[in-house]
Chains A and B, each alone.
Chain A
Amino acid sequence: MSRDLGEILTYIEQLNELDTANVPPMAQVLFDADETATLREDVPRTPLGNEETLVNAVAAAAGYFKVPKVIER
């Protein structure tokens, strides 16, 4: 695993061949739209119920997810 990671890191060093001093970074593919275009109407919706939310948890009780103890007494 560490050999693989080493090889991959060496390979990606090739990006240093490029001068990107004045190139803006691209975080996302963006298209022209109003600043608020992606906001929906502020209408309340029913979220997933407590029972449905817990159904995939390995350990749950009393309406909560259970994890190993984190607080020392």
Chain B
Amino acid sequence: MSLATEIPALSVSAIREGLLNRSFSATELAKTAISFAQKENAATNAFLTFSPERALQTAARVDREIAKGEYAGALAGVPLGVKDVIVTKNLRTTCGSRVLENYIPPYDATAVYRLEAEGALLIGKLNCDEFAMGSSNENSAFGPVRNPRALDRVPGGSSGGSAAAVAQGTAVVTIGSDTGGSIRQPASFCGVVGVTPTYGRVSRYGLVAFASSLDHIGPFARNVEDAATMLRAMAGRDELDSTSAFAPVDDYHALMKHSVRGLKLGLPKEYFADLGTETGSVIQAAIRQLEGLGCELREISLPHTKYALSCYYIIATAEASSNLARYDGVRYGSRSDGETLSDMYRNTRGCGFGPEVKRRIMLGTYVLSAGYYDAYYRKAQQVRTLISQDFSAAFEQVDAILAPVSPFPAFKIGEKVDDPLAMYLSDVYTLTGDLSGVPCMSVPCGESAEGLPIGLQIFARHFDEATMFRVAYNYEHSTRD
């Protein structure tokens, strides 16, 4: 069997085995993976930039270590793609925006640094909605990404390229960012595993900030085990991010293989009320499957769910309006000239940002403005407390919570671009995870009649990614037998 034909289905463990058996070298794998990705990318537009030199450099190191019989890392030789909102030293990072079209970061994000330290081969940067604002990847200044499972459909967003590359086979693993559902929703639309870890679990040093109290970095992979390997490599305290947590990182691989018999799984009635759909029946079948494995199901209530969208769009836009103030054409990014400094700022931002980013900056400055601050921003922060308390109360009764990821599978490109509110509603089931900071993930659980992937969402307690992975792993394996 040739390496080229195996590439689209490779897993982390298969690569490890291949390297240790000397079936192929990391250098051969890097070359084959990059030329495959470059050839296939035209179909989806998932990659914006390729970085063959950087991948080959790490591959050479991995090959030297293996030749000497040394441990080459948990991700030795694994082709990795990185969402283009995560900075990479000397490698263009656009955030899907014209304003950063030529930005070359002078440093690496901690997540990237840690993955490469474990031997991952960074092959390129991945398309996304501009500054991670969007649910379909149609807000990228560099064109939409196509869903590899149905090329006339969106891959979801904002980490559309990250999900599409794993689904298409052009990267074995990728990372993305999630502020309101931007990892789980595209994972669900593309039929791959996507993980939003606990807030603070993975350092955001080098993640271009959108809404700092909600931003997460997390992995995409083709199976639960690979996603856990990725998270483990990135997780843990980083003194370069003061919000990164001290909590110890569990041995996910040992813990996830424990049986789920007796685990209490909560079904929040608010997430199933409007789900008399095809997506609903696929999710229900997955739930029965877990019940069959010995899980105990309980109906629970997360009563403030319906307020999550309003709460989110106040907090996220408020924080974004402040975070995006830095794109002023002075220190980095493009500039549009003007007579005065104010004209220059205005022209730079007017020309550099796309409509969705402008919409959110305006909304954010409005909800923070004098006279409206208490009515909108403070109110939303109070509602965030209520949403968070819903989860704390639920986790006194259950070990994990099951829900849909999205109310519907991947929609057609162009279908929702003219209706921002309809687009926002595609994140209605994912926002609460970011607002409360609990870990959550999407695991593929079936397909619509048209063959579009559907994801099951699993939430767990803060820092209990191990239980989340345990449910996902047991589910995944029960469907393979």
A interface residues, Cβ below 8 angstroms from B: 1, 4-5, 7-9, 11-12, 14-18, 20, 23-29, 31, 33, 37-38, 40, 48, 52-53, 55-59, 65, 67-70
Contact = CB atoms under 8 A, between A and B. Distances in A.
Contacts of B339: 68
B341 A40 contact: no
Contact of A29 (B107, B314, B436): B436
Given A14-B307, A52-B106, 20 more contacts: A4-B420, A5-B362, A5-B363, A12-B314, A12-B376, A18-B383, A20-B383, A23-B385, A25-B381, A25-B384, A26-B385, A26-B388, A27-B213, A28-B213, A31-B462, A48-B106, A56-B103, A56-B332, A65-B331, A67-B341
A10 B208 CA distance: 30
A59 B335 contact: yes
Contacts of A23: 382-383, 385-386
Contact of B330 (A9, A16, A67): A67
B379 A7 contact: no
Interface stretch (B144-152, B228-236, B242-250, B452-460): B242-250
24 contacts: A1-B355, A9-B366, A15-B307, A15-B383, A18-B382, A18-B383, A20-B382, A24-B382, A25-B381, A25-B382, A26-B382, A27-B213, A27-B381, A31-B463, A33-B246, A48-B106, A55-B106, A56-B104, A56-B332, A57-B330, A57-B331, A58-B333, A67-B344, A68-B337
A62 to B, nearest CB: 15
A52 B332 CA distance: 11
A23 B246 CA distance: 28
The 4 A-B pairs of least Cβ separation, nearest first, read A29-B437, A25-B381, A56-B332, A20-B382
Given A20-B382, A68-B341, A11 B246 contact: no
Nearest to B241: A38
